[in-house]
Amino acid sequence: MFKSKRSGLVRRLWRSRLVTESDGRTGLEEDLASTAHAFLKRLKDRSLDALVKAVETKGGVPGECVTVPRTELRLGGHHVSPQYLLCRLFRWSDLPLSARLKPLCHCQSFGSGDSAKVCCNPYHYSRLCGPESPPPPYSQSLSDEHKLLGKFGENDTGTSIGSSTSGGHRSHWCSVAYWEQRTRVGRLYPAYEPSLSIFYDLPQGTGLCLGQLHANIRSKIGFGIVLSREADGVWVYNRSQHPVFVHSPTLDLPSARGLSVRRVMPGFSLKVFDFECSSWMTEHGVKPETQEGPWDPHSIRISFAKGWGPCYSRQFITSCPCWLEVLLNTHR
């Protein structure tokens, strides 16, 4: 019975893989399949159970970490990590060997680069957004971004938000407002924990559930996003099935004349607000040349599924069907 259960779990996982025998696999994909099958057979039952839950719900159910020794697996003529192997098998068939995977903030591997163990749950990782290519008019170019970061390196003051206390009570690090075009729906939602899930339909989800509100135009929000306050800034992780579009003052280059709206594809993460950049902008009195309405140097705007700005039919975020305003608490 013990062996039968393990075999059944492996078969369920194998049916969920992205590459199948009918896909005309390349030599690398053949190696991927054989390496992954051997790796899965070595996992314990509890780890297999956690992987089945994560893969079959596409990350919709909070899953456990699946920890394995930090090692490298041979894949063709290359060596890859266990987390790369399972992310390539179950999430992104186009994942390049050079891809950087970012552990999500609730994962044991987050911030533990030197640990002897590593989590290989593929839904505990995101891909990192890079510069869009070819860059549209509103996008940063990689060379300009590096020049700007060089300027920021002259200032090490940084910013610490959300860590203050008032009267012995911890303060919230941000408040979130939900908007539908020009109408705010619901109340401001304060975030006290380092990460906040914002979603419409998420099994066993906790956080800000937009499905509890009364409007009916949120079908593309789905599993939504995760906002996390980390040491270097605020990150957004897109866990939905559709892209989200984001803007903050720190995404704009000082010389930019247009709005820097970035697209975050499903499964990707982006540092949407940079603390060091914000400090540099404050010190140098940098403000954007164009901005709709009053300018708030500590706000983030996120639109679900629909973009806005110079390259879209919607020029302003107030024309988007559903969007978020994230107000960072810097002791306003």
Host domain of residue 221: 174-328
Q: Do 124 and 179 sit in the same domain of this protein?
A: no
Query: Is the bond preceding residue 131 a cis peptide, omega within 30 degrees?
Result: no
Domain boundary among 74, 106, 128: 128
What is the residue-level pLDDT of the chain in tens, covering all 332 positions?
445 666 777 778 877 776 555 455 566 678 888 888 889 988 998 999 999 999 999 988 878 999 999 999 988 888 999 999 999 999 999 999 989 999 999 999 998 777 899 999 999 999 999 765 444 333 343 334 333 333 333 633 233 333 445 555 678 999 999 999 999 988 999 999 999 999 998 877 788 988 776 556 677 899 999 999 999 999 999 999 999 999 998 988 766 666 789 999 999 999 999 999 898 888 887 776 655 556 788 999 999 999 998 888 999 999 999 999 999 997 55
pLDDT confidence of residue 310: 84
- Is 145 among the domain residues? no
Q: Do 108 and 225 sit in the same domain of this protein?
A: no
**How far is 331 from 325, CA to CA, in rounded Å?**
17
pLDDT confidence of residue 205: 78
- Is 163 among the domain residues? no
Residue 192 belongs to domain with CATH number: 2.60.200.10
Q: Do 114 and 182 sit in the same domain of this protein?
A: no
Taking a C-beta distance cutoff of 8 angstroms, is the pair 83, 125 a contact? yes
pLDDT confidence of residue 288: 67
pLDDT confidence of residue 128: 95
Whose tokens are 């009267």? That residue is 167
The tally of domains found in the chain comes to: 2
- Is 64 among the domain residues? yes
β-pairing verdict for 73-75 and 78-80: antiparallel
pLDDT confidence of residue 161: 36
From 319, 303, 220, select the one nearest 263 (Cα to Cα). Answer: 303
Helix (H) or strand (E) holding 186: strand 183-191
Q: Do 189 and 102 sit in the same domain of this protein?
A: no
Predicted structure pTM score: 0.82
Q: Do 98 and 208 sit in the same domain of this protein?
A: no
Q: Do 188 and 266 sit in the same domain of this protein?
A: yes
Could you give the C-alpha distances from 266 to 13, 28, 131, 206, 240, in angstroms and in order? 21, 25, 16, 20, 6
Residue 11 phi, psi (nearest 5) = -65, -40
Q: Do 315 and 181 sit in the same domain of this protein?
A: yes
pLDDT confidence of residue 154: 60
Q: Do 118 and 183 sit in the same domain of this protein?
A: no
Domain boundary among 128, 160, 189: 128
Query: Is the bond preceding residue 134 a cis peptide, omega within 30 degrees?
Result: yes
- Is 158 among the domain residues? no
From 38, 61, 33, select the one nearest 49 (Cα to Cα). Answer: 61
Taking the alpha carbons of 170, 174, 178, 184 in that order, is the dihedral positive or negative?
A: positive
Residue 104 belongs to domain with CATH number: 3.90.520.10
Q: Do 185 and 50 sit in the same domain of this protein?
A: no
Q: Do 207 and 80 sit in the same domain of this protein?
A: no
C-beta neighbour count of 302 within 10 angstroms: 25
